Structure 1
Amino acid sequence: MHIAINCRSFSRKQFTGIGRYASSLVASLSQIDAANRYSLYTTRGWGEVKSRIARRDASNFAVKFDWLRRGVAKTVRSVDIYHAPSPEVLPDLNARTVVTVHDLIYKTYPQGHTQETLALSEAQFQSFIPRSARIICSSRSTQNDVHRYFPAVKNKTCCIYQGVDTNLFYPLPQWEISSAREMMRDKGVVAPFILFVGTIEPRKNLKGLLEAFARLKQKKIFKGKLVVAGMAGWKGEGLTGLIEHLGIKADVVFEGFVSNDALRVFYNLAEVFVFPSFYEGFGYPIVEAFSCGAAVVTSDVSSCPELAADAALTVDPADPEAVAQAIARVIQDTGLRNALRQKALARSQGFNNQETARKTLRVYEEVYES
Structure 2
Amino acid sequence: MTPTVAYFANQFAAAEGHGMRRYAFELYDAITELGGAQLVPAAGWSNLAPDALSDLQTRTSLRLMKTGRKGTSLAWTLAGFPPMEWMMPDQLDVVHSVCMGYPVATRKPLVVTIHDLGPLTHPEFFSHNRPWVMERALKQAVDKAATVVAISQATADEILSLHPQAADRVRVVHSGVAERFFDEPDPAALDGLDLPPDDVPFILTAGSLNPRKNVLGVMQALRHALQDIPHHLVLAGGGGWDMEQLQQELGSSDLAARVHRLGFVSDEALRALYRRAAMYLHPSLYEGFGLTLLEAMAAGTPVVTSNRSSLPEIAGDAALLVDPTDPNAIAEAVIRLANDQGLVDTLREKGFARARSFSWNKTAQTMKEIYQDAASG
Normalising by structure 1, we get a TM-score of 0.88
1:57 is matched with which residue?
none
Q: 5+ unaligned residues in a row in structure 2: which ranges?
A: 47-52, 76-81
| C-alpha deviation, 1:72, in angstroms | 5.9
User: Partners in 1 of 2:215 and 2:193 — Cα distance?
Assistant: 24
Match of 2:304 among 292, 297, 304: 297
The 5-angstrom pairing of residues 143-182 of structure 1 reads 143-167=156-180, 169-172=181-184
* 2:211 aligned with 1:198: no
* 2:366 aligned with 1:359: yes
* 2:60 aligned with 1:39: no
Match of 2:14 among 12, 16, 41: 12
1:216 is matched with which residue?
225
Match of 1:306 among 313, 334, 340: 313
| C-alpha deviation, 1:67, in angstroms | 5.0
User: Partners in 2 of 1:334 and 1:185 — Cα distance?
Assistant: 30
**Would you say the 8 A contact 2:214–2:324 is kept in 1?**
yes
User: Partners in 2 of 1:7 and 1:89 — Cα distance?
Assistant: 11
User: In structure 1, what residue type is equivalent to 2:41?
Assistant: L
Match of 2:133 among 112, 116, 120: 120
* 2:84 aligned with 1:73: yes
Instruction: Tell me the alpha carbon deviations over residues 70-100 of structure 1, each in whole angstroms, 9 at most, x when there is no partner.
Output: 9463636932210011114333322110010
1:263 is matched with which residue?
270
User: Partners in 1 of 2:156 and 2:37 — Cα distance?
Assistant: 28
1:337 is matched with which residue?
344
Taking only aligned residues, the RMSD between alpha carbons, in angstroms, comes to 2.2
Instruction: Tell me the alpha carbon deviations over residues 90-115 of structure 1, each in whole angstroms, 9 at most, x when there is no partner.
Output: 33322110010011111221111246
User: In structure 2, what residue type is equivalent to 1:17?
Assistant: G
- Give 3-state SS (helix, strand or coil) of 2:182's partner: coil
Instruction: Tell me the alpha carbon deviations over residues 100-157 of structure 1, each in whole angstroms, 9 at most, x when there is no partner.
Output: 0011111221111246433332232233331211110001111111111121211111
How many residue pairs were aligned? 352
User: Partners in 2 of 1:260 and 1:244 — Cα distance?
Assistant: 27
- Give 3-state SS (helix, strand or coil) of 2:284's partner: coil
User: Partners in 2 of 1:50 and 1:293 — Cα distance?
Assistant: 36
User: Partners in 1 of 2:210 and 2:116 — Cα distance?
Assistant: 16
Normalising by structure 2, we get a TM-score of 0.87
Instruction: Tell me the alpha carbon deviations over residues 299-358 of structure 1, each in whole angstroms, 9 at most, x when there is no partner.
Output: 011110111011111011111101111111111001111111111111111221111111
**Would you say the 8 A contact 1:7–1:23 is kept in 2?**
no
User: In structure 2, what residue type is equivalent to 1:106?
Assistant: P
- Give 3-state SS (helix, strand or coil) of 1:83's partner: strand
User: In structure 1, what residue type is equivalent to 2:26?
Assistant: S
- Give 3-state SS (helix, strand or coil) of 2:146's partner: strand
User: Partners in 1 of 2:283 and 2:346 — Cα distance?
Assistant: 21
The 5-angstrom pairing of residues 310-329 of structure 1 reads 310-329=317-336
**Would you say the 8 A contact 2:294–2:355 is kept in 1?**
yes
**Would you say the 8 A contact 1:11–1:49 is kept in 2?**
no
* 2:256 aligned with 1:254: no
User: In structure 2, what residue type is equivalent to 1:172?
Assistant: E
Instruction: Tell me the alpha carbon deviations over residues 217-259 of structure 1, each in whole angstroms, 9 at most, x when there is no partner.
Output: 23xx211210001111121343121234572111111100001
- Give 3-state SS (helix, strand or coil) of 1:100's partner: strand
User: Partners in 2 of 1:184 and 1:271 — Cα distance?
Assistant: 19
User: Partners in 2 of 1:320 and 1:338 — Cα distance?
Assistant: 25
1:189 is matched with which residue?
196
Match of 1:93 among 72, 94, 106: 106
* 2:241 aligned with 1:241: no
- Give 3-state SS (helix, strand or coil) of 1:233's partner: coil
User: In structure 2, what residue type is equivalent to 1:255?
Assistant: L
Give percent identity, aligned residues only: 29
Given the superposition, is the C-alpha separation of residues 240 and 64 from structure 1 closer, same or farther in structure 2, using an over 3 Å criterion? closer
- Give 3-state SS (helix, strand or coil) of 2:221's partner: helix
User: Partners in 1 of 2:250 and 2:39 — Cα distance?
Assistant: 49
Given the superposition, is the C-alpha separation of residues 328 and 337 from structure 1 closer, same or farther in structure 2, using an over 3 Å criterion? same
| C-alpha deviation, 1:207, in angstroms | 0.8
- Give 3-state SS (helix, strand or coil) of 1:130's partner: helix
User: Partners in 2 of 1:140 and 1:249 — Cα distance?
Assistant: 39
Greater alpha carbon shift after TM alignment, 347-356 vs 5-14: 5-14
